Amino acid sequence: MKRSILCVVILLVALCAVACGPKREATEEPTVTPTTATVTATPTVEESTPTPTPTEVPFTPTPTEEVINNDGVPEDSGCFRIKLSGNKEDHFLTTRFCYIESEKYFLLLDKDLDLPGDFTKQMDMLVDALEEVTGLSYIPDYKPDGMDCSTVHFGYDPWREMEYNNKIPIYIFVDREGQNLISYASNMHAVFISDELTSEEVWNSIPSFRDNPYRRMNFIDYYPIAHELAHTITLRHGWYTKIMTEGSADYFAEKALKSLSDKSTDFAESLSHQMFLTAVRDNITPQNAEKMFTADYLNLSHAERGDEYTLGRMICKYLAETYGDSFFKDYAKAVSEEGFPMEAGASGLWFNYSEANAIRQAEVFKSLFGDDVFTKFGEWYQKQR
């Protein structure tokens, strides 16, 4: 669970005028990252596997191979296109803002990232796997609105001139001030802060990072990436309760990585380092399961979050076992047809449905999976413990 509970889903309202409120909060929120989640995350394993000293000199691209169509691109623009070699052994060190375009997404890259040459290949596989396990297309009939809101860029946007069309903008940032910035996602985009992809030089310039080797895996941890991309893909098909939003992202991230675990050691390691809990602090019973669902952990502060991930993931697991793999696709279709609104919580930023809408979502569940779905889930949950 190193970072799985750190992610947030942000309701990014495309209109800049509306987004000005969330802008400040998005910048501030990462600074209150629940440090306990990081500190307590698999400490034994992490501390026993310190980051190895890199033996390779950063790969320098040849212009014909890796840097393309960039005549006249200003130095401070992110519209500088690169292409990775495809070989895992190669490294591409980003010395300026740039991007990579793939079939289904754009990677929008900060400076000082150290990318393995096969990174795009791995990301391609991950997006494909997420579509497969969710049963949802990354972009079926949805066209994201403009992306000209600096909320998503921690205050700067060198990619503002980019045209994303229907592809997913995936931002990868370096936490160069050591602020413990966190990854997040919306229906439009996904934003990652990657420890493993941060260049050795920048990493070693931040004492709190350099002196805590457990922070940095010796593989690329695709779990948080899978979790956030699962958000983007599922949210492009509907709005869900907090439990179902976070639970489905965890459930599908795990499932996608399982399906890829024989494709690369990074995927296998990402999966094996996750700790998937099977119980929440409240005892879920046949009697209270529906009430827990509709309460939706609305009153949890950010630092106390966590149970919604576990409970939601267990609900997904139960539904998949009982109704088949299309359960989420059916649920997404039903809530979409019901016309659930995008609804922000008190902060205007976090994805919190009101109880009234959570109750409506429970009714959707019953119409899809039977009136006794919550009772049956409570019974199943008790058997898992």
User: CA-to-CA distance for 154 and 28, rounded, in angstroms?
Assistant: 9
Pick between residue 184 and residue 377 the one whose CB is nearest to Zn ion. 184
Residue numbers 348-377 binding Zn ion by CB under 5 A: none
Distance CA 275, CA 266 (A): 16
Cα 380 to Cα 318: distance, rounded to the nearest angstrom: 7
- Nearer to Zn ion among residue 226 and residue 249 (C-beta): 249
Provide the phi-psi class of 306: left if phi over 0, else alpha when psi is between -120 and 50, else beta. Answer: left
Q: Which stretch in 11-19, 161-169, 241-249, 323-331 sits in contact with Zn ion by CB under 5 A?
A: 241-249
Q: Between residue 6 and residue 65, which ones bind Zn ion under the rule CB under 5 A?
A: 7
| Chosen residue from 12, 220, 233, 249 binding Zn ion by CB under 5 A | 249
User: Minimal CA–CA distance to 182: which of 9, 356, 370, 377?
Assistant: 9
Cα–Cα dist 288/281, whole Å: 13
Region class of 118: left (phi > 0), else alpha (psi between -120 and 50), else beta: alpha
Size of the site for Zn ion (CB under 5 A): 3
Of 122-130, 153-161, 242-250, 361-369, the segment contacting Zn ion by CB under 5 A is: 242-250
> What count of other Cβ atoms lies within 10 Å of the Cβ of residue 1?
19
The smaller minimum CB distance to Zn ion, of residues 91 and 255, is found at: 255
Q: Which is nearer to Zn ion, 112 or 195 (CB)?
A: 195
Of 347, 352, 41, the residue nearest 221 (C-alpha) = 41
What x-and-dash track marks residues 190-229 binding Zn ion by CB under 5 A? Answer: ----------------------------------------
- Minimum CB separation from Zn ion for residue 63, in Å? 39
SS3 169: strand
* Binding-residue pattern over the window 111 to 150 for Zn ion, x denoting contact by CB under 5 A: ----------------------------------------
222: helix, strand or coil: coil
Closer to Zn ion by Cβ: residue 7 or 147: 7
For residue 140, the minimal CB distance to Zn ion (Å) is: 21
Q: Which residues bind Zn ion (CB under 5 A)?
A: 7, 246, 249
